Amino acid sequence: PESVPRRHGVRLPPDTTGEAFDEAIKALRKALGEDNVVLNDKPLVDGWYLEHPNTHDAFHLVDQEDLVSSATAYPASTADVQAVVKWANEHGIPIYPISMGRNVGYGGTAPRVPGSVVVDLGKRMNKIINIDAENASCVVEPGVSYFALYDEIQRRNLPFWIDCPDLGGGSVLGNAIDRGVGYTPMGDHFGAHCGMEVVLPTGELLRTGMGALPGKDGADNPTWQSFPAAYGPYSDGIFSQSNFGIVCQMGFHLMHETGHQSYMLTFPRDEDFPDIVEIIRPLAQKGILGNIPQLRHVVQELNVTGHPKSHWYSGPGPVPRDVIRKHASQMPCGDCAWVFYGTQYGDETAIKTQLDVIKSAFSAINGFKFFLPLDVPPDHYLNDRALVCSGVPVLRELEWLNWKPNSAHLFFSPITPTRGRDAQIVHDINVRLHAKYGIDLFPTLCIAGREMHYITNIIYDRSSDEEKRRVNALMTELIAETAREGYGEYRTHLLYADQVARTYNWNDNALMRFNETIKDALDPNGILAPGRNGIWPKKYRGKGWEL
Ligand code: ADP
């Protein structure tokens, strides 16, 4: 993607004159070193996943120059982060921390308030502080990617897995803070964390859990990575999906490597959908399914090959169902409607027993088929699933972006109960609204025993303002319609944070009032990521910032 000359100069933080900004930047450079503060004054380059910008949202949904920073700061230590926070309070300039900035589809590195200073933690704070082989845990800084942690475990020849999301380039810490998910039995990334070191919005330093109790002779507490909650209120949760602190270190439990077997199931009819969900529920609740499996509509077998849409269909609008059918019938999955990717864990006997139970349960659906990796060609997606589900980071899912020229994507991700009728309601809303706005529907469902993440990947051409407007209208309507039915999103792009936050309004917005109370107590000057997850500090509330 090309860079376009900037139409505007540096985007100043709100209520800040050019002079005051120059003075402030001078002070920040003094604190961090000249080279560690970079103005965002050059043409914006969207780059790509592995060379992503930290200046704006590379997957812009509005004008590329709308959601931009004024500058980027690169702290090297927790003490540096404290210095940045104190500076922000002194100058009244909002800051926006990122770890690596690869949460693509949810806003990338863009600050919610244009002109904020992005604090890029990952570039210089990228140490694996500890891997404790006895405790099966690690402590990382924000810049440690899944690839880096994986490589280090291999280098030390340790018997552990990591748990990565579909794409392995992101930050272990950043993804957990945003409550992302992965696909081994330890796929709940926030759930697998243990202990945090946090810089609060006033610059004060906090350790959570057992980390609050000093170890002997000034050492870190020996159970900091063993027992998450410790004593008193369990505070860690308020630092996830929030703007209450900057997490500088975080501990995680690691999974022991084990035998594993990935497989694919296919189901012939679109209408099988609620029945599939009904069969998954008890299998998941009883722990027979080894991980969080994915159920995808067959259209995804087309796009995960990496071929562009034009390879399959040259007409206008979404690829019609009969065209999908025609192509799928030539592929390993055959003419089917739903494709299920699962993995079982343990020794050979255990895996065989589990697979027998699973096959017998799904045999209630006429025409279901079972595939092992050796049944499909080596470049089939099942082989990439097998890697992700056994803790090996991959980049295969980037191939989604070949679908269109100038592709960008956005996720719509409501949570529903794992129940056929609920899943069908959300699916029907998606089918109807995607058709209304002429957008291909790509549902991937991550299904646990009691809830499922119904995730649709909305792919759009970011060079087309018309298409962006359509995608925006689709997204806004999806959020509103699913909320009316009682379903809410677990995570969203920063442009929809306010709308989604407003749907969680039980008892006169009790939850948001609670969040605002915490925000105002911790961040009286409102400098830390104002507006993230719909939480606005007092200084900004009711002044027209909410979308
Ligand atoms: P990734 O590292 O997966 O690429 P990001 O760095 O983009 O993810 O993090 C996702 C979001 O989580 C960021 O936009 C930011 O709002 C928040 N975040 C990330 N790291 C931190 C952190 N260390 N402290 C506080 N918030 C963070």
Nearest to 243 by CA among 14, 525, 544: 525
Tell the residue nearest (CA) to atom 4 of ligand 1. Answer: 102
What's the CA-to-centroid distance between 234 and ligand 1, angstroms? 21
Q: Which of 103, 104, 117, 246 to mutate to test the pocket of ligand 1 (most atoms within 8 A of CB)?
A: 103
Cα angle value 256/257/260 (rounded, 5°): 130
What's the CA-to-centroid distance between 122 and ligand 1, angstroms? 9
pTM of the model: 0.93
- Binding-site residues, ligand 1, Cβ < 6 A: 97-103, 121, 142, 170-171, 173-175, 177-178, 246-247, 529, 532
Give 3-state DSSP helix, strand, coil % of the chain, rounded to 5: 35, 20, 45
The residues assigned a catalytic role are 106, 490-491
- Two tokens at 239? 């630092």
- Two tokens at 55? 């200046």
What's the CA-to-centroid distance between 5 and ligand 1, angstroms? 28
CA–CA separation, 85 and 70 (whole Å): 16
Return the number of other C-beta atoms located less than 10 Å from residue 366's C-beta: 10
CA–CA separation, 400 and 317 (whole Å): 17
CA–CA separation, 103 and 491 (whole Å): 11
- Domains (ranges, CATH) in the chain? 18-120 (3.30.43.10), 128-256 (3.30.465.10), 260-389+414-490 (3.40.462.10)
CA-CA-CA-CA dihedral for 146, 147, 150, 152, to nearest 10: -120
Question: Low-confidence residues of the chain, pLDDT below 70?
Answer: 1-4
Residues 80-92 pLDDT 10s: 999 999 999 999 9
Q: Beta strands 414-417 and 338-345: pairing type?
A: unpaired
8 Å CB contact between 438 and 318: yes
Annotate 243-275 with b (16+ C-beta within 10 A) or e (fewer). Answer: bbbbbbbbbbbbbeebebbbbbbbbbeeebbbb
CA–CA separation, 424 and 271 (whole Å): 9
8 Å CB contact between 152 and 132: no
8 Å CB contact between 140 and 149: yes
Question: What atom of ligand 1 comes closest to residue 248's alpha carbon?
Answer: 23
Q: What is the C-alpha radius of gyration for the chain, rounded to an integer number of angstroms?
A: 23
CA-CA-CA-CA dihedral for 395, 396, 402, 408, to nearest 10: -50
What is the dihedral sign for C-alpha 326, 327, 332, 335? negative
Tell the residue nearest (CA) to atom 18 of ligand 1. Answer: 98
Question: Residue 485: left if φ>0, alpha if ψ -120 to 50, beta else—which one?
Answer: alpha
What's the CA-to-centroid distance between 464 and ligand 1, angstroms? 28
Q: What is the pLDDT of residue 259?
A: 96
Question: What atom of ligand 1 comes closest to residue 178's alpha carbon?
Answer: 12
Tell the residue nearest (CA) to atom 23 of ligand 1. Answer: 247
Q: What is the pLDDT of residue 1?
A: 46
Q: Beta strands 71-73 and 117-120: pairing type?
A: parallel
Question: What atom of ligand 1 comes closest to residue 245's alpha carbon?
Answer: 25
Q: Beta strands 338-345 and 260-267: pairing type?
A: antiparallel
Q: Which amino acid is at 335?
A: D
Contacts of 229 (CB under 8 A, 6+ apart): 209
Nearest to 190 by CA among 230, 136, 228, 246: 228
Q: Give the ipTM.
A: 0.96
Contacts of 68 (CB under 8 A, 6+ apart): 11, 40, 44, 55, 56, 110, 111, 114, 115
Strand, helix or coil for residue 426:
helix
Residue entry with tokens 């159970």: 223
DSSP structure class, residue 145: B
Residue 180 backbone phi and psi in degrees, to 5: -75, 170
Helix (H) or strand (E) holding 421: helix 420-436
